[in-house]
Structure 1
Amino acid sequence: MSVYILVVDDEPDVEALFRQQFRRDLRAGRFLMEFASSAPAALERAVAMEDATLILILSDINMPGMSGLEMLPIVRSVRPDVPVIMITAYGDAETRRKALANGATDLMTKPIDFAALRQEIDTRLEQAV
């Protein structure tokens, strides 16, 4: 069974960073990572992966066009089974409130604590089995 994590961020270096941080997991086939550079592309992928096991969506908040916060209620309606963690450089109380009110499971601030993210992924993998 292949399980997927969808990472949504308009910054081109994010994919390389995530692939580097999780290279052992990816090489071992623990999960696969898909990357979308915009909210509309992420929504497309989330719908297209309907039959796949999508265990987590990680989305930046500040993106051109549709923001992560604007995408959040849409992706939650399309894939209510998939937890969404929002990622932002601005971890203020209002941003956290908006993210959680719109259905986010959590909010992580940049720079990302990859140890904490790894624990979250491990939890999601256990639940997927």
Structure 2
Amino acid sequence: MIHIVIVDDEADTHLLYKLKMKKLFANLGELSLVSFLNGQDCLDYLKKTDTPHVDLILSDINMPGMDGFELLKAVRALNKDIPFYMVSAYESSEFRNKAESLGAQRFISKPVDFGNLGDLLRHDLSLES
């Protein structure tokens, strides 16, 4: 089972990810998708002792409270190995470079190209289609 965590402050985005990921994983195996509206709730989830192994975190950058960069720093302090994709509606070399320097594996621009996202997931998570 692949366990992916989505963090985005827009509830509609969670539904979109759920629908698109279900299609992407139809041929890739079982998917567990957990979503949070803010970084702090995600961090609290990751710190729980009964949280299953997380295969990937996909987080927006601009969120109230803890932004995606702060979440990435906190996740890296907990676990340097969880693949982390940063997602933003603001395509800028500054955001891309900051995400990379903090340890994000990928920087994805919104609107998300789910075909491309599927290719990245297959590659980065070593999934077969």
TM range (shorter): 0.7 to 0.9
Q: Please report the RMSD computed on the Cα atoms of aligned residues, expressed in angstroms.
A: 2.1
Aligned residue for 1:84? 84
8 Å contact kept, 2:22–2:31: no
Give the count of matched residue pairs: 126
Off by >4 Å, runs of 4+ in structure 1: 26-29
Q: Residues 8-19 of structure 1 correspond to what in structure 2 (within 5 A)?
A: 8-19=7-18
Amino acid at match of 1:63: M
Q: 1:29: Cα distance to partner? A: 5.0
Q: Percent identity?
A: 33
Is residue 56–residue 124 contact of structure 1 (8 Å, CA) maintained in 2?
no
Contact 1:55/1:124 (<8 A) preserved: no
Q: Does 1:74 align with 2:74?
A: yes
Which blocks of at least 5 consecutive residues in structure 2 are unaligned?
none
Q: TM-score, normalised by structure 2?
A: 0.87
Tell me the amino acid that sits aligned with residue 92 of structure 1: S
CA change 1:100–1:50 in 2 (3 A) is: farther
Q: TM-score, normalised on structure 1?
A: 0.87
Bigger mean CA deviation after superposition, 39-48 or 86-95: 39-48
Q: Which residue of 2 aligns with 1:101?
A: 101
